[in-house]
Structure 1
Amino acid sequence: MKLINLNKLFYIGILIYLVYASSSAFASTASPAALSYLIQEAVQSNPQIKAARERWLAAKDVIPQSRSLPDPKVDLGYIHMTGNNPMDVDPRREQMIGVSQEIPFPAKLYVRGKAATLDAKRIEAEYHTIRLTIIAQLKRIYYDLYLVNKSIEIFQNNQLLLDKIERSARVNYSVGKAPQQDIYRAQTEISRLLMRLVMLRQERASLEADINRLLNRPLDITISTPSKLSITPLGFDLNKFYRLVDLQSPQLNAQQKNVEKSNQEIRLSKLDYYPDIEIGAGRLRDTAMGTQGYQVMLTATIPLYFASKQNYAVREKLARYNADIEDLYSTHRDLSFQVKNAFLLAQRSAQLIHLIQYTIIPQATLTFRSSQANYGVGKVDFLTLLNNLLTLQDNELELHGEIVQHEKAIAQLEEITGVTL
């Protein structure tokens, strides 16, 4: 009677799980799943990429502004003067109209334009960095989603095997070849498997929402993944990846442009020791006397307080330049480490994939099938059979986990170097 009640509870639990799983499967709308399609959509729609692109366009518009002269000024004036002399019956009335233009010291506009150009190139490199970062982030989430889907597939297949094992245990128990605990243990493993499936389905929904977030679209769109993930070859040796970092890395390029811009700012601060000038010309007319004429003016700034102003400005720019150089060296070291680490991870995963796929899994499969056949005739105990199944399950999960780790390492190499492998 106790066995019958437990069996009822067990199958009621399975029925509840199947209802939940089927309702979750139709909760959202399917979406194209090709990774290349998702990448293309992310590049077009991701808000961070679009914002970085707009910042780049804005920086390009700064260049002509920095090279332009200040706006000219129009001067209008009127003078009305009278004296205390009673004989002065014709007071002075003068009208004046003129224009003036401020002209920075030669080379200032050129250096400002060059600094603005370098800043625009830095922001362009930052745009490419953000673009590559979003693509790499999308790939990592997509690979995690693939692993979750493969895990669900493996657990569902093993659920069928456990159901078969549970039936075999029931038959063996009925003829006295197996203890009752074999049935309970099989049912417990099925229940634990169902628990893991519930957790994986939640994780899958979260990963799908994360992908949709990057693509700037509704979060409840379902993302499917391929049945098998192809292995991307490394393509280059480690030294080649180091050279790619030096030549093509957008992150390193942004730091290099920042150093070059700081150098131009030092040059510009030194030009502030020289005066700027302002030239003006105007027309004068005395309405009382009926006379008219003109005036020409030249005004110059005098860097009188250079000891407390220009000197410190140069020191400030030099300090910022030195800091930018240190940031450049630090970025180069960090990127080189990341490249080496990702390269080694990809190599390790490739070796493990080959070992697990062609050696360990075939061995584990043969072991499980042998124990499954022998359990039916009472030559192998239940715990051995169950352990062999769980070992095979772990090996299959490890295989797909290493595939995902390999592709994540490839994605990191692409993110750093800017090269598509």
Structure 2
Amino acid sequence: MRKYRAGNLYHPVVIPLICAFFFNICGCGYTGRPFKEEPGMVELLEEDAGIGEFLQNENYQLPSNPSFDDYFTYAAFRNRELRAIFERWKAALWKIPQVKSLPDPRFTYAYYIKNVETRVGPQRQSFSIAQTFPWYDKLRLKGETAFLEAEALRWELESKRWKLYEDLSRLYYDLAYTRRAVDITNDHIALLGHLESALKIGYSAGIVPYGYLTQLQTEMGKLENRLKTLEDYIAALEAEFNSLLHRSVWEPVVVGELRDVGSVSINERDALRLIEESSPDLKVAEKRVALAQKGVDLAKTFYFPDLTLSVTAIDTGDADNPLTPESGKDPVIVGVSVNLPFWWERIEAGVKEARTRYEASIADREKTLDLLSARLKLILYRLRDSERKIRLYGNDLIPKARQSLEVNLENLRTGEATFSDVINAERVLLEFELSLEEARAGAAKALAAYERLIGRRVDKASK
């Protein structure tokens, strides 16, 4: 058996050292944070722990008398839809170092079944390693594309968070209104109960017709039926509310006062500007446009070839004549190869596909803006309509309805009004009081919908 010499490249120590050196020179295995060049990426990663703790802290407990903000925080901790999008966003971040990394080096070993005889000795086996380097900018564009995909998911997470806010607001204020409706209905049932007691005494004395008593009891039956409907609806609303909090549907829900929106005024032009600046839904569409644009740039890089560098060492045995110069010397071959982008029709089709996707993304962005603008119009209409009703019922109709009921009750005692007049006055007052509470809830829900639209909370807005 031929003895190994330190000068032979197939020496068991030399070959691994060469391979390790070549791996380091090629930079194949990014370590640490491999995307520092990406704008904003470091900041995103630094936020990772905080967002993760926020979305995954399932040990958060509600206070004994929770506000709406407490419920929203609790829901954001435990909501499964938010958790799923958050995990997809993290997965998209980890895609960036993968697409920016060089392809794996390729090691090739060849054993010569029949030795190749040369002047310096028989060639018996060869070792080669090759590294492909993509065309200039291809890896950068792949990294930027993956980054924009992650950014789109990040804004989708923000959009879903605001959707959760709006959904919770809708259910919370519906619960607040329904419970106020229960209280108001109970007050009117109690009022009719007092009248019933008085009518029974009058009927027993023979001074009140029996028709008055049956009319009153019929009205009370209607109110009791409405009361049962409202109580059943409360149970359904609580179940849906608890489902967003990822807790038992039987858990009680504490609801405070309805949100006062009287100090908030919204200018439509300013609202449109805020939508263009900060709407999460629009941000998602804009990131998709930027992503599609990068896709066009990336598709164009396939017109150009990739470069592959290789090093090959051939194991050569000693020559038969030991006096042969350079006997047993191992040749080393350095090679360069490129792929030939010959099938331009395929590459051109890829570029056209990317451009078409870009045009589609622009159309989607414009469609999103149109929908948000139309939704803004509807939200502002509901907000103005609710505020108008609040002023109308609170300042005008309800005081007059109460006065009318009091007058009819007094006139009933003097015989100047019929019992039907009293019942009608009571019915009108009930509907006005319920309409006021419904308008207050509608204003609070409209404001929450507006906040979701612009992606920020609103306390005061100037005209």
- TM-score, length-normalised on structure 2? 0.80
Which residue type is aligned with residue 193 of structure 1? L
Residue by residue over 1:380-413, the C-alpha shift from the partner in whole angstroms, topping out at 9 and shown as x without a partner, is 2111101110100000010011111111110111
> Given the alignment of the two structures, is residue 299 of structure 1 paired with residue 332 of structure 2, yes or no?
no
Q: 1: distance between equivalents of 2:403 and 2:66?
A: 35
Aligned to 1:367: 404
Which residue type is aligned with residue 166 of structure 1? E
Which residue type is aligned with residue 184 of structure 2? I
Of residues 137, 140, 165, the one that matches 1:110 is 140
Alpha-carbon deviation of 1:417? 0.2
Residue by residue over 1:91-124, the C-alpha shift from the partner in whole angstroms, topping out at 9 and shown as x without a partner, is 9452222221111111101111111111111111
Aligned to 1:388: 425
> Given the alignment of the two structures, is residue 357 of structure 1 paired with residue 394 of structure 2, yes or no?
yes
Aligned to 1:212: 242
Q: 1: distance between equivalents of 2:64 and 2:247?
A: 11
Aligned to 1:314: 351
What does 1:21-40 align with in structure 2 at a 5 Å threshold?
Answer: 32-40=65-73
Alpha-carbon deviation of 1:227? 4.7
Aligned to 2:99: 66
Aligned to 2:125: 95
Aligned to 1:43: 76
> Given the alignment of the two structures, is residue 52 of structure 1 paired with residue 85 of structure 2, yes or no?
yes
- Two-structure CA RMSD over aligned residues (Å): 2.1
Identify if the C-alpha distance between structure 1 residues 227 and 333 changes in structure 2 by more than 3 Å, giving closer, same or farther: closer
SS at match of 2:303: coil
- Flag structure 1 segments of 5+ consecutive residues without an equivalent: 1-29
Alpha-carbon deviation of 1:213? 0.6
Q: 1: distance between equivalents of 2:222 and 2:64?
A: 31
Residue by residue over 1:125-162, the C-alpha shift from the partner in whole angstroms, topping out at 9 and shown as x without a partner, is 11100000011110001111111101111111111011
Of residues 149, 158, 162, the one that matches 2:192 is 162
SS at match of 2:344: coil
What does 1:239-388 align with in structure 2 at a 5 Å threshold?
Answer: 239-287=269-317, 289=319, 290-307=328-345, 309-388=346-425
Tell me, yes or no, if the aligned pair for 1:122 and 1:258 is still in contact at 8 Å.
Answer: yes
> Given the alignment of the two structures, is residue 142 of structure 1 paired with residue 175 of structure 2, yes or no?
no
Q: 2: distance between equivalents of 1:168 and 1:380?
A: 16
Moved more, 142-151 or 345-354: 345-354
Tell me, yes or no, if the aligned pair for 1:81 and 1:91 is still in contact at 8 Å.
Answer: no
Tell me, yes or no, if the aligned pair for 2:173 and 2:258 is still in contact at 8 Å.
Answer: no
Which residue type is aligned with residue 95 of structure 1? Q
Which residue type is aligned with residue 124 of structure 2? E
Tell me, yes or no, if the aligned pair for 2:258 and 2:441 is still in contact at 8 Å.
Answer: no
Alpha-carbon deviation of 1:339? 1.3
Tell me, yes or no, if the aligned pair for 2:258 and 2:440 is still in contact at 8 Å.
Answer: no
Q: 2: distance between equivalents of 1:208 and 1:82?
A: 84
Identify if the C-alpha distance between structure 1 residues 261 and 67 changes in structure 2 by more than 3 Å, giving closer, same or farther: same
Aligned to 1:10: none
Q: Percent sequence identity over matched residues?
A: 27
- TM-score, length-normalised on structure 1? 0.87
Residue by residue over 1:43-96, the C-alpha shift from the partner in whole angstroms, topping out at 9 and shown as x without a partner, is 11111111121222221222222211111122222112169x9xx9x9945222
Alpha-carbon deviation of 1:251? 0.6
Residue by residue over 1:293-323, the C-alpha shift from the partner in whole angstroms, topping out at 9 and shown as x without a partner, is 112222211111111x111111111111111
Q: 1: distance between equivalents of 2:68 and 2:410?
A: 42
Q: 2: distance between equivalents of 1:136 and 1:72?
A: 52
Tell me, yes or no, if the aligned pair for 1:265 and 1:317 is still in contact at 8 Å.
Answer: yes
- Flag structure 2 segments of 5+ consecutive residues without an equivalent: 1-62, 320-327, 459-463
Q: 2: distance between equivalents of 1:226 and 1:196?
A: 23
Q: 1: distance between equivalents of 2:159 and 2:263?
A: 23
Q: 2: distance between equivalents of 1:342 and 1:228?
A: 18
